[in-house]
Amino acid sequence: MPKKDNMLAILWMLNSGEKWTAKQISEKLEVNIRTVYRYIDALCSSGVPIISDTGHHGGYSLLNHFIRAPLLFDMEEKKTLLHAAVFAKEAGYPLTETLENATSKLKMYSNKEQESKLNQQLTGFEVINRIVSPSSQLVLAELEHAVEKELCVEIDYRTSREEKPKSRMIDPYEIVYWNNKWYTVAFCHRRNEIRSFRVDRILRIKRTELIFKCPEAFSSREFFMKNLLPDLLGKEGLIVLRIEGRQEALDELCMHWFFGHHLQERTPTQAFFLFEEKSIHNSVPYFLLSYGKSIRIIEPQSVKDRLVAIASDLMEYYQQ
């Protein structure tokens, strides 16, 4: 650990209110005891009021809890930060090494009782998420650097409809985590427009020396959600989808991020949705197929016909 980190660690240890001997500090920081003496001397020289008591119960302590800064978190704040770090790590956060260093310091600057309690709270807290591939984490790290430095990057990107990737030059404005997947919202030089790119579909990323300027007041959240869930207010040609079924199945359907956006009315046994014609006949039937007999489409007839056609194609495919 760098010298400045060790000195800061000693400062927080002394601020816990306990007395620490040079031997205890050296064991905690895994440094030579003479190094501890040098750090203590350096802190005293900088004006930190360290008290040195000799004897059997002696040790180093701070005068009247010298540090009074917002950086001193209470136990609930520390627990919350550590839990948030677990979420970030499980989501595939790219700067995992830095994150682990930060959480280690957070626990290090606690007294023994607090550290034991924090470890106990972390033991009883689990987050299960999809595993992010190492290659995606490397891409995320490069994108994070590009966003921070406003550097243009060259990527090989493959969409869901393409077998071979295509090279693109993009200006990554921001990074978005949505529905267990990472995206970057970027200006695409090839299309000459702002688009979103799924990180797991970026097969190669290369830094360039070109720089860009992100538009002021740009919101990747607003752009991303507007493209994902367009506003239907004032649009013509919308179709009502009426579904009945078991309550738990309807509850799950209404809470889904896509169907919930299109929900218009809900009764104990039915749900009413409003869709554009394109989506109601393309993506919607494939999703509803997974609900089997737990739901039943009342209207429109065209969606029922589409479900029959999809089921027939599947049956024919597996009978061959």
Condensed to tens digits (0 to 9), the pLDDT of residues 39-54 reads 888 888 777 788 888 8
Same domain, 221 and 148: yes
Looking at the domain assignment, is residue 208 inside a domain?
Answer: yes
Average pLDDT of 95-118?
Answer: 76
Instruction: Assess whether 142 and 57 both reside in one domain.
Output: no
Out of 99, 123, 147, pick the residue that ends a domain.
123
- Identify the domain boundary among 12, 29, 62: 62
* Angstrom distance (rounded) from CA 193 to CA 170: 10
Kindly report, residue by residue over 81-95, the tens digit of the pLDDT.
888 888 888 888 888
Q: Provide mean pLDDT across the span 257-282.
A: 92
- In terms of domains, do 35 and 86 share one? no
Query: By C-alpha distance, which of 266, 220, 217 is closest to 243?
Result: 266
Within this chain, do residues 143 and 202 fall inside the same structural domain, yes or no?
A: yes
Whether 69 maps to a domain, the answer reads: no
pLDDT of residue 111: 66
CATH of the domain at 34: 1.10.10.10
Distance of alpha carbon 157 from alpha carbon 202, whole angstroms: 5
Query: What CATH number does residue 300 fall under?
Result: 3.30.70
Which of 187, 202, 227 is the last residue in one of the domains? 227
Predicted pLDDT at 311: 93
Our separate counts of H helices and E strands in the chain read 13, 11
Are residue 261 and residue 290 in the same domain, yes or no? yes
Asked, for residue 18, whether it belongs to a domain, the answer is yes
Residue 141's domain is classified under what CATH number? 2.30.30
Do 244 and 198 share a structural domain?
no
At residue 53, the 3 state secondary structure works out as strand
Residue 129 domain flag = no
Question: What's the mean pLDDT when you consider all of the chain?
Answer: 87
- Interatomic CA distance for residues 232 and 262, integer angstroms: 9
Q: Is the pLDDT of residue 74 over 70?
A: yes
Tens of pLDDT, residues 286-302: 999 999 999 999 999 99
Q: What is the mean pLDDT of residues 271-299?
A: 92
Q: Domain total for the chain?
A: 4
Confidence of residue 171 (pLDDT cuts 50, 70, 90): very high
CB contact at 8 A, 168 and 121: no
Residue 149 and residue 219 share a domain: yes
- Domain containing 191 equals 134-227
End-to-end CA distance of the chain: 64
Give the whole-angstrom CA distance, residue 319 versus residue 54. 87
Please check whether residue 70 lies inside any domain of the structure.
no
69 band by pLDDT with thresholds 50, 70 and 90: very low
Does residue 204 share a domain with residue 142?
yes
User: Cα separation of 202 and 212, whole Å?
Assistant: 20
Let me know if residue 304 belongs to a domain.
yes
Instruction: Clarify whether residues 215 and 248 are in a common domain.
Output: no
Q: Which residue has the tokens 């360290």?
A: 50
Assigned domain for 233 exists = no
In a domain, 67, yes or no: no
